[in-house]
Amino acid sequence: MAVEVRIPTILRTYTGDQKAVTAEGATLAAVIDDLEANHPGIKERLVENGPTLRRFVNVYVNDEDVRFIGGLEAEVSDGDQVVVLPAVAGG
Amino acid sequence: MLTIDQATRDAIVRHAKKDHPDEACGIVAGPEGSDRPERLVEMVNAAGSPTFYEFDSTELLALYKQMWARDEEPVVIYHSHTATEAYPSRTDIGLASEPNAHYVLVSTREHGNNEGPVEFRSFRILDGEVSEEDVAVVPQL
């Protein structure tokens, strides 16, 4: 499943400054692994031990926060739009 | 240096006073690359806490999609501290992920919801490093 992944400014160092890249996979986990294959280092910014999505990174598939649709196991279909947005948070 | 107009600065302060004792948060969007904080967007603090703030993830996406459609970026990201100084905490520094933004801190520790001056300071946070910057409040941008 080929999807478009929108990359936030802070992660564009991994994608040669591109703000969107394509990736393949049937689940978000697979898409992230594919991103890592083409843009090494990016996976660690998204995923931590578990494996689980990092707490302050938001990922959306077709505008839905993946936390509500299975997290890393969220299903992804051809043509889907994936967006990564770091949380805006602090103390 | 952050240049901001009086009306926007006052609106940020009003928001902080209104939400005290919870931290208030929001952004001021402006045209990409312009460094002009033109459009204030107050956000809900989904954490509803006096010591933490977080934009709701669904509202965050809606906000960014709106900015992308308008060729805007977050020029200012602001939040308030309700019991401590208007200086980025370790948490603020660790979570700052918009390298081009001016991080504005307001402290309501002195007067809470009431009339009275607040601390209003601005910072750049890049790669874990904080640098304070001057704030120029102008009648109009």
3-state secondary structure of B90: helix
Taking contacts as CB-CB distances below 8 angstroms, the residues of chain A near B79 are 90
B141 reaches A (C-beta below 8 A): no
Query: Would you place residue B16 in the very low, low, confident or very high pLDDT band (cuts 50, 70, 90)?
Result: very high
**Residue B113 CB coordination number (10 Å):** 12
Beta bridge partners of B76: B28, B102
In the predicted model, is pLDDT for residue B21 greater than 90?
A: yes
pLDDT confidence of residue B89: 98
pLDDT tens per residue across span A7-16: 999 999 999 9
- B10-15 mean pLDDT: 98
pLDDT tens per residue across span B26-48: 999 999 999 999 999 999 999 99
**Higher model confidence: residue B138 or residue A50?**
B138
Cβ pair B53:A91 closer than 8 A: yes
pLDDT tens per residue across span A49-83: 999 999 999 999 999 999 999 999 999 999 999 99
Taking contacts as CB-CB distances below 8 angstroms, the residues of chain A near B98 are 9-10, 86, 88
> Which domains occur in chain B, in start order?
2-138 (3.40.140.10)
pLDDT tens per residue across span A35-53: 999 999 999 999 999 999 9
Strand ranges (E), A1-91: 2-6, 20-24, 47-48, 52-53, 57-61, 64-65, 81-86, 89-90
Q: CATH topology for A2-86?
A: Ubiquitin-like (UB roll) (3.10.20)
Judge if the upstream peptide bond of residue A40 is cis by omega within 30 degrees of 0.
Answer: no
Whole-number Å distance between alpha carbons of B86 and B89: 9
Cβ pair A88:B54 closer than 8 A: yes
Q: For residue B128, what are the CA distances in angstroms to A10, A58, A82?
A: 13, 20, 27
pLDDT tens per residue across span B75-122: 999 999 999 999 999 999 999 999 999 999 999 999 999 999 999 999
A50 reaches B (C-beta below 8 A): no
Query: Would you place residue B131 in the very low, low, confident or very high pLDDT band (cuts 50, 70, 90)?
Result: very high
Whole-number Å distance between alpha carbons of A73 and A31: 10
Whole-number Å distance between alpha carbons of A90 and B2: 20
> ipTM score of the complex?
0.95
B119 reaches A (C-beta below 8 A): no
| Chain B nearest-CA residue for A67 | B57
pLDDT confidence of residue A23: 98
Query: Would you place residue A1 in the very low, low, confident or very high pLDDT band (cuts 50, 70, 90)?
Result: confident
